[in-house]
Homo-oligomer: A and B are copies of this chain.
Amino acid sequence: MTPAEKMTRLGAQAKNAARAMTRATPEAKNRALLGLAELLREREAAILAANASDVEAARAAGQDSARLDRLTLTPAIMEEMRAACAHVANLPDPVGATESQWQRPNGLLVGKMRIPLGVIAMIYEARPNVTIDAAILCIKAGNAVILRGGSEALHSNTALAQALQDAMVQAGLPADAAQLVTVPGHEAVNALCKLDQYIDVIIPRGGEGLVRAVTEAATMPVLKHFKGVCHAYIEPDADLDKALDIVFNGKVQRPGVCNALECLLVHKDVAARFLPMVAEKLGAADVEFRADAAALPLMSKAPAGSVVPQKSEDLGQEFHNLTLAVRVVADMDEALDHIARYGSNHTEIICTNDHAKAMRFLREADASMVAVNASSRFNDGGQLGLGAEIGISTSKLHAYGAMGVEELTTTKFVVLGQGQVRQ
């Protein structure tokens, strides 16, 4: 069989399994998740050995340390995966609920029942823990999942997916509801992207290149997460100590992630007070500033050489490191214009004590999370209270922002009649 034929067979199997999954009880699904945690414990040595061979091969192939780091499983990561299984098992089951029901004048009862999406294909990089983290959310929501991780993780993923399938079967659920693609190469991914007769949604998880390639190839809907270019805007009436903590936390706590701050926008009337505080505190944490002409003279408290004149390419940039663009703006209009031009619909925050300004910013800043007086780092399914997340959508269809178990479902109309016909 060609890779495309193999993918077609896998897709058809997933579609069949998805029908069985619509009948799965919450109890059976949770039994599979808890059983998986047990199998991950029993098979830990074998899984870590499979992973070690992947890491060895990747190292021999000259992969950089960041990639090796993402590829490596440790006992601690295994423990996190087991904890995630138990945690997701304990989440409320979204499927089957009819969230609202209303009566029509002719007596029909109309409701919207929450149902699984069907078949979800996950395309991700060589991070084996994603195999478990993504699969358990898809299963909890009653879907069949097709998993396609980066080929450097193939041995690890094979061992993990085997545990997953065994747990499904032990719980009385179909093994085909959790299939791993073992065919290497882009041909298999491209074939998956065309199987819209079997796959309801495809979720790419990884760098912008991967997301863009899947989006362009896919004929079915894509839930995508592009880059996070997050701004903080400081109004003159803000509590500046709190604003400083928020900016520090946004930039410094974990600069490599998508909800880290990339650009600080400061109202001109507070720049002379606030920017020296920023220069001092963030400068001491090794932040490098890309400051515009108005900000530059206000940042002399930063360590020598850490304040660099801003270039146009610094705006709209996801630095992924301890770099922060700084710009002084005339007012909120200019801040919102800047965000509309350079933002990436991810996370935008304002620091202000003025209610009307807060409400305006909440309404007009177009991002999946908009916050008042809180760190951008809260844009995360766990932090927002969704229980778990499969990603953060930066496009508006289906879901905008952090996606939890519920975002892996949809609703259908259910209509209960007593013989009604249309006049």
Contacts and interface: CB of A to CB of B under 8 A. Distances in A.
A373 B412 contact: no
Contacts of A421: 245-246, 248-249, 253, 374-375, 377
Interface stretch (A32-40, A126-134, A166-174, A213-221): A213-221
Given A110-B384, A420-B374, A363 B102 contact: no
Contacts of A372: 415-417
B422 A253 contact: yes
A94 to B, nearest CB: 14
A59 to B, nearest CB: 33
Nearest to A380: B422
Contact of A422 (B220, B377, B396): B377
Nearest to A348: B412
A200 B396 contact: yes
A19 interface: yes
A370 B22 CA distance: 14
A419 B22 contact: no
Interface string A10-30: 000000000100110000000
A96 B362 CA distance: 10
A60 to B, nearest CB: 38
A22 B363 contact: yes
Contact of A117 (B200, B373, B397): B397
Contact of A371 (B102, B220, B415): B415
Chain A interface main SS type = mixed
Interface residues of A, number: 70
Interface string A398-423: 11111000000011111111111110
A311 interface: no
Most-contacted residue by chain B among A113, A249, A379, A400 (CB, 10 A):
A400
Contacts of A364: 19, 22-23
Interface of A: 19, 22-23, 96, 102, 104, 108, 110, 113, 115, 117-118, 200-201, 215-216, 219-223, 239, 242, 245-246, 248-249, 253, 340, 358, 362-364, 366-375, 377-379, 383-385, 395-402, 410-422
Given A108-B378, A246-B419, 7 more contacts: A19-B340, A220-B395, A368-B412, A373-B420, A374-B420, A378-B422, A396-B410
8 closest Cβ pairs, A-B complex: A374-B417, A242-B419, A249-B421, A371-B415, A221-B397, A377-B422, A369-B413, A398-B398
